[in-house]
Amino acid sequence: MTLRAISHNNASRKASKKRCKAKKQQETREQLLKRTLNSSDTTHFVNWRRVKYEELDLYPTIPVDRHKKPTRPPTPEEIKSAYDQVETFHLFKTGRNIVQDPLDKESIIAFIDFIKFEDMSEQDKADLNLFTTFLHRSKKFISPVAVDSRSWGGLMWVIGWRKSSDGDQIVGRYIKKFETEDMEDLG
C-alpha cells in the first residue's frame, strides 16, 4: 500500500512539472512573438518548429578534391539514394510556421506564413503582383549561367548582388548587357 502511494505521488509530481514547463514555454514564446512580430495579429495558429543543424552529405561515396569539389557526377543510384533521403524531410505547406534558433532562444530564424490566394487582402495581392511583375520583367536582363564545374550540371538564373572590392560596384557578373532602347523597359 505504501508503494502505491509513493508511485502515485511521483506520477502526480511529474505531470505537474510537465504542465509547468509547458506553461512557461508558452509564455516565453508569447513574449518572443510580442517582441518580434505584430502582437495584435492573431489571425493564424502558430506552429512552432524545433530544428537543429546536422551536416548532411547527399553523396558520401563521391570523392572530393582538395578544394572540396566532387571529382565525378553522381550515378543514377546515388541520385535515387539522395532523393529518398530528401523525401524524409518535413515539408512546411500550411499555416504559420515559426522556426526558433536552437542556439539563441531569443531569436527567430524563419517566419513562414502560407496564405491561400482567395484569403489574401487586396493589399497583399497588389504586393504580390508588384513582386512577380518585377521578376517577370527582369528575366530578359539576366543571363543564364552555365555551370560545367558542378557535378549535377544545369543552368542558373540569378537576380542578386555580388561581392566586389571596387567602391560603389555591387551589381555585376550576372547582369546581361542590353541596348539603350531596352532601358525604357526598366521604367
pLDDT tens per residue across span 130-175 = 999 988 887 776 665 555 554 444 444 455 544 444 544 444 444 5
| 87, 114, 141 - which closes a domain | 114
What average pLDDT does range 125-134 have in this prediction? 92
Q: At a CB cut-off of 8 Å and minimum separation 6, what does 21 contact?
A: none
| 57, 85, 114 - which closes a domain | 114
- Domain tally for the chain? 3
CA distance 120 to 92: 19
Q: Are residues 80 and 63 in the same domain?
A: yes
Q: Are residues 34 and 99 in the same domain?
A: no
| 69, 98, 114 - which closes a domain | 114
Q: Are residues 25 and 60 in the same domain?
A: no
| Cα Rg of the chain, angstroms | 26
Q: Are residues 125 and 147 in the same domain?
A: yes
Q: What pLDDT was estimated at residue 55?
A: 85
Cell of 168: 560603389
54 contacts 89 by C-beta, under 8 angstroms: no
Q: What pLDDT was estimated at residue 13?
A: 80
Q: Are residues 76 and 109 in the same domain?
A: yes
Q: What percent of the chain has pLDDT over 70?
A: 65
For the cut 80, the answer to whether the pLDDT of residue 120 exceeds it is yes
What are the pLDDT digits (tens) for 47-70? 788 787 788 888 999 998 988 888
Q: Are residues 80 and 24 in the same domain?
A: no
CA distance 75 to 89: 22
CA distance 134 to 186: 9
Among 127, 99, 128, smallest CA distance to 112 is for: 99
Q: Write out the residue range of the structural domain in which residue 92 sits.
A: 43-114
Among 48, 45, 75, smallest CA distance to 60 is for: 75
Q: Are residues 70 and 122 in the same domain?
A: no
